[in-house]
Amino acid sequence: MQRFAINAQNVVSSMAEKKPQVVVFLLDCCREYWLPKTRRSGDQSVVGLHEMKAPSGTIIAFACAAGETTSDRSSGSENGIFTKYLLKHIITPGVDIDYILRRVATDVAKETSNKQELFRVSSIRAENVCIVPADTRQTLTSEISSTVSSWTYENGDKYKGECKNEQKHGRGTYYYATGEKYTGDWIDDKKTGQGVFTWPSGDRYEGQFKDGNFNGKGTFYYANGNIFAGDWVDDKKAGEGVFTWSNGARYEGQFKDGIFNGTGTYYYANRNKYAGDWVNDKRTGQGVFTLANGERYEGQFKDNNFNGKGTYYYANGNQYTGDWVDDKKAGKGVFTWANGNQYKGQFKDDNKHGKGKLYYANGDVQKGVWFNDFFKE
């Protein structure tokens, strides 16, 4: 033991001999007997550290009373209770070290139901001995409390990374027992900042997080080859974004609650295109649908179909302007042929049906009633 152990009293005395303004000596100890497989000799009642003496200008503190040991490691924590509260209070700017240790002692006693008492002895005569100067910004001193830890949880989850005040804080990786993994920024135990979340299925999200959820800008790579890049709110696509399918189809526009809502353009794999309004993932509102063959519809949509008022431009030069019901001409409208003929009247199921007039390019006019596209009378 004497070959490998360090005499704490000698260390303090050696430091004091250098005559610094003050010596602060802190030890996080003592835990259970640290050589459980080695037989103890001598006085079996002697455990823990002996009481120490504080040379002039020195303050000494360690985790438990002299002659005592403690098993005080918090669940899921790399640090003991003493270090936990020391890190919490020691970064406070402009506070005397003796007062800080009293606050630490109070918190330790409270958490352990008065079973653990700090050893503290001081011979400091100076006033206001502060570890962190009063004019230091808290945002800078908070870095002092960051440590790197490896935690394993009862459910099999694991965390490796930075922590602060017993919480995940900084950069770190969380391994879920179910196979998921998150690597990135943490604030106050929550995924917040930039990070990458992966699933065993092969899905992957890269982007911004807040309060544990996808929030801000991010890209989701689906295992099937689909990709979404854009805005997120609480794990849902919301705002502006681009969704690309593995078959080449693409949507560029607005999202809400994870689906198309607002205005956007859908480029179909067959080279058709729709630009306009969307409601709950469906073409609804005003829009323009262009087919790969050059034909085009401009007008109103509902539930993905032509519904309401609209104009259809045919590739052969024909044109229809009027009412539509579920992709079919129905109601009143005007159909104009490329040769100059024009029909004005009623339609049903895409055909001339009901009262109407047919104006021929040569000036003739046919007036009467049509039935399923045939003139009746």
User: pLDDT of 44-95, one tens digit each?
Assistant: 554 566 788 878 888 888 777 776 766 555 544 556 788 888 888 887 788 8
Look at residue 55 in the predicted model and tell me its pLDDT. 87
Look at residue 373 in the predicted model and tell me its pLDDT. 93
Residues 6+ apart with CB under 8 A from 316: 338
Residues 281-300 have pLDDT tens digits of 999 999 999 999 999 999 99
Residues 358-375 have pLDDT tens digits of 999 999 999 999 999 999
Q: Is the pLDDT of residue 308 over 50?
A: yes
Look at residue 72 in the predicted model and tell me its pLDDT. 57
Q: Where does the chain hold its CATH 3.40.50.1460 domain(s)?
A: 8-36+46-137
Look at residue 106 in the predicted model and tell me its pLDDT. 86
Residues 234-270 have pLDDT tens digits of 999 999 999 999 999 999 999 999 999 999 999 999 9
Q: Where does the chain hold its CATH 2.60.450.20 domain(s)?
A: 149-375
pLDDT tier at 31, thresholds 50, 70, 90: low
* Burial tier of 347 (Cβ tally within 10 Å: 0-12, 13-18, 19+): buried
Residues 122-134 have pLDDT tens digits of 888 777 788 777 6
Q: What rounded mean pLDDT belongs to the chain?
A: 87
Q: The domain at 8-36+46-137 falls in which architecture?
A: 3-Layer(aba) Sandwich (3.40)
Look at residue 209 in the predicted model and tell me its pLDDT. 98
Q: Which CATH class is domain 149-375?
A: mainly beta
Look at residue 166 in the predicted model and tell me its pLDDT. 82
Q: Which of 44-48, 92-96, 117-121, 339-343 has the highest mean pLDDT?
A: 339-343
Please tell me whether the overall predicted TM-score, pTM, comes out greater than 0.75 for this model.
no
Q: Distance between CA 65 and CA 63 in Å, rounded?
A: 7
Look at residue 162 in the predicted model and tell me its pLDDT. 93
Q: Is the pLDDT of residue 139 over 70?
A: no
Residues 151-178 have pLDDT tens digits of 999 999 999 999 988 899 999 999 999 9
Look at residue 296 in the predicted model and tell me its pLDDT. 98
Kindly report the three-state secondary structure assignment for every residue of the chain.
Answer: CCCCCCCHHHHHHHHHHCCCCCEEEEECCCCCCCCCCCCCCCCCCCCCCCCCCCCCCEEEEECCCCCCCCCCECCCCCCEHHHHHHHHHCCCCCCEHHHHHHHHHHHHHHHCCCCCCCEEEECCCCCCCECCCCCCCHHHHHHHHEEEEEEECCCCCEEEEEEECCEEEEEEEEECCCCCEEEEEEECCEEEEEEEEECCCCCEEEEEEECCEEEEEEEEECCCCCEEEEEEECCEEEEEEEEECCCCCEEEEEEECCEEEEEEEEECCCCCEEEEEEECCEEEEEEEEECCCCCEEEEEEECCEEEEEEEEECCCCCEEEEEEECCEEEEEEEEECCCCCEEEEEEECCEEEEEEEEECCCCCEEEEEEECCEECC
Look at residue 36 in the predicted model and tell me its pLDDT. 47
Q: Is the pLDDT of residue 34 over 50?
A: no
Look at residue 70 in the predicted model and tell me its pLDDT. 65
